[in-house]
Amino acid sequence: MSLNGWLQISVFIVTVLLLAQPMGRYLTRVFSHRKTWLDPVLIPCERLLYRITGVDSDHEMRWTEYAGATLLFSAATLVLTYAVERLQHLLPLNPQHLPAVESALAFNTAISFTTNTNWQAYTPETTMSYLTQMLGLATHNFWSAAVGMALAMAFVRGIARRESKTLGNFWVDVTRATLWVLLPLSIVFSLAFLSQGVVQNFRPYDTARLMEPQKVTGLDGKTTIVTTQTIAQGPVASQEAIKMLGTNGGGFFNANSAHPFENPTPLSNFLEMLAIFLLPAGLALCLGEMVGSPKHGWAVLAAMVVLWFVGTLTCYWAESQPNPLLHGVDQQTSLMQSGGNMEGKEVRFGITNSALFATVTTDASCGAVNSMHDSFMPLGGMVPMANILLGEIVFGGVGAGLYGMLVFIVMTVFIAGLMVGRTPEYLGKKIESYDVQMAMLYLLIFPFIILGFSAITLLMPNVGLSSLANHGPHGLSEVLYAYTSATGNNGSAFAGLNANTHWFNYSLAIAMFFGRFMMIVPMLAIAGNLAGKKIAPTSSGTFPVTTPLFTMLLIGVIVIVGALTFFPSLSLGPILEHLLLRAGHAF
């Protein structure tokens, strides 16, 4: 670790915190239908959309109707993506003449992008046409993020409203999230990425003649001499912005944000990380503004920052360590080299920005990568996995992070109430048995899917284990990471796992589907129940949710729930691998 590295990390988090408040206030104005400076342009567009689609923007929805609309919208857009993938060979903007996507892979990808996961069991530049990337996938980057924001707003209204049966209008929330938030920000960030050298074109791929022809031996043992290299192109900059802002993470290229056409410079890397945290940080403060307690928003954001810092510190420390198996190799940091574990990392990002990116992308549900998590040191690789296993509430996905955090807040307030022997209250709303049942359902579904699918996969040598590149605890981490990433709707890959098989395509698709929709439903049920309650006046027995004590208790509940659930599996994976590495074993 170096002073330079810590300075870069400090500049990053200070920038996020400086932008969080204006972003939070802007989001509050957008979702409270207050005036914004974009209204003269966007209100006519909004009205036109409602007129075309027949949406009654004054109609208020109960939680069941809100959930139904979420499912209907997701189902319709999912089928559209599946159809585009299957028909891409017949559709325009396919200069490479790529064939139709195979059905299992198309099914997996359609669910992946609908659920904001963006798990990619394929190589985009050799599988998806430009039209599929734009119409099938990039559109979902907007829609799934807008759905996440709409759901978070529904939960916030559930807390803020008193004796109300409704949570707002799903179609209005999705429309406003897209028009007022995601589109303008995407334009700004796209232009910034273009300035850094991210490509944006519809050209066929370039072919370059190699200065030094390469001998390549294929799987059949035949050696061929390669004299040319194909350089993929495409409309990348426009997709890159929403990929990060919407915490989607699906790369235009297989190498994702490690590819020089997606993330060419340290500045573009900084902007990508900023784009990931910008909206989740703003949403935390938007919560405070909308419930009339800005300090509560800051208390929640403080919990996120503390958890982010612990993850960053651990990952940065682990990756800065020399690999103990590389005897006699200079791995110290100097002016000539980054030092530490540079396997799977880009030289232009070094240890600091690789470890920080890995932490940020898994704190949020982004899943973009600028380094290969599979090549991290065992404890460094454990950090991204642990971030997702905590439920992706450390900033979290756009909207999804906030509503996940709100479920943890319900549990925290409930536990605090048990401690002092009073009926728990959250901002004046009594937390009763139904709320806790739904919160527990939310918290239990997540490990049930991850551990269930991981266990089944590990018990099937011919189906699950045959896809592994590594054995031992590292192999366990690869399987555990895949189902963690899918269920948490993160989408980053640990790599080292061939996931483009029928078993993984279908099982991961189901994990992504359940990880999204089976968690949204109990969350909305809590919101609907809270909205109908009276707001009790604050008394001496009310647990304050604006203090450092609340922040510490919230962090404690998140860590204890995560550790009780997942420590046994982590101890058999990355922790065991770390201990064995120290003893001289590699996997």
Partner 1 sequence: MSDVLVLVSLVLLFALAMAYVLGCERLKGKQS
Which positions lie near partner 1, rule CB under 8 A?
63-64, 67-68, 71, 74-75, 78-79, 82, 86, 103-104, 106-107, 433-434, 437-438, 441, 510, 513, 517-518, 521-522, 525, 529
CB 113, min distance to partner 1, A: 14
CB 71, min distance to partner 1, A: 5
CB 81, min distance to partner 1, A: 11
Q: How far is 488 from 511, CA to CA, in rounded Å? A: 9
Q: Smaller CB distance to partner 1: residue 433 or 539?
A: 433
CB 115, min distance to partner 1, A: 11
Q: Smaller CB distance to partner 1: residue 205 or 434?
A: 434
Q: Smaller CB distance to partner 1: residue 85 or 289?
A: 85
Q: How far is 299 from 315, CA to CA, in rounded Å? A: 25
CB atoms within 10 A of CB 93: 15
CB 542, min distance to partner 1, A: 24
Contact at 8 Å (CB) between 203 and 233? yes
CB atoms within 10 A of CB 58: 7
Q: How far is 579 from 575, CA to CA, in rounded Å? A: 6
Q: Smaller CB distance to partner 1: residue 319 or 435?
A: 435
Distances (CA, A) of 332 to 343, 379, 587: 14, 19, 24
Q: How far is 27 from 287, CA to CA, in rounded Å? A: 10
Residue 566: CA count within 13 A, CB half-sphere? 32
CB 105, min distance to partner 1, A: 11
Q: Smaller CB distance to partner 1: residue 295 or 502?
A: 502
Q: How far is 408 from 411, CA to CA, in rounded Å? A: 5
Q: Smaller CB distance to partner 1: residue 166 or 352?
A: 166
Q: Smaller CB distance to partner 1: residue 8 or 501?
A: 501
Residue 52 burial (10 A CB sphere; 0-12, 13-18, 19+): exposed
Q: End-to-end CA distance of the chain: give it in Å, rounded.
A: 26
Q: Smaller CB distance to partner 1: residue 75 or 579?
A: 75
CB 128, min distance to partner 1, A: 18
Which secondary structure element, helix H or strand E, spans residue 355, and what is its range? helix 350-363
Contact at 8 Å (CB) between 303 and 287? no
Q: How far is 408 from 390, CA to CA, in rounded Å? A: 10
> Which residues have CB under 8 Å from 434's CB, separation 6+?
525, 529
Q: Smaller CB distance to partner 1: residue 290 or 520?
A: 520
CB 500, min distance to partner 1, A: 15
Contact at 8 Å (CB) between 404 and 392? yes
Q: How far is 125 from 566, CA to CA, in rounded Å? A: 36
* DSSP-based three-state secondary structure for 545: coil
Q: How far is 404 from 385, CA to CA, in rounded Å? A: 17
Distances (CA, A) of 184 to 41, 42, 178, 250, 426: 11, 10, 9, 20, 34
CB 503, min distance to partner 1, A: 15
Q: How far is 170 from 493, CA to CA, in rounded Å? A: 32
CB 209, min distance to partner 1, A: 41
Q: Smaller CB distance to partner 1: residue 62 or 578?
A: 62
Q: How far is 238 from 188, CA to CA, in rounded Å? A: 10
CB 532, min distance to partner 1, A: 9
Q: Smaller CB distance to partner 1: residue 65 or 343?
A: 65
Q: Smaller CB distance to partner 1: residue 273 or 523?
A: 523
CB 296, min distance to partner 1, A: 26
The amino acid at 440 = M
Q: How far is 23 from 28, CA to CA, in rounded Å? A: 9
Distances (CA, A) of 250 to 150, 236, 259, 508: 21, 11, 13, 16
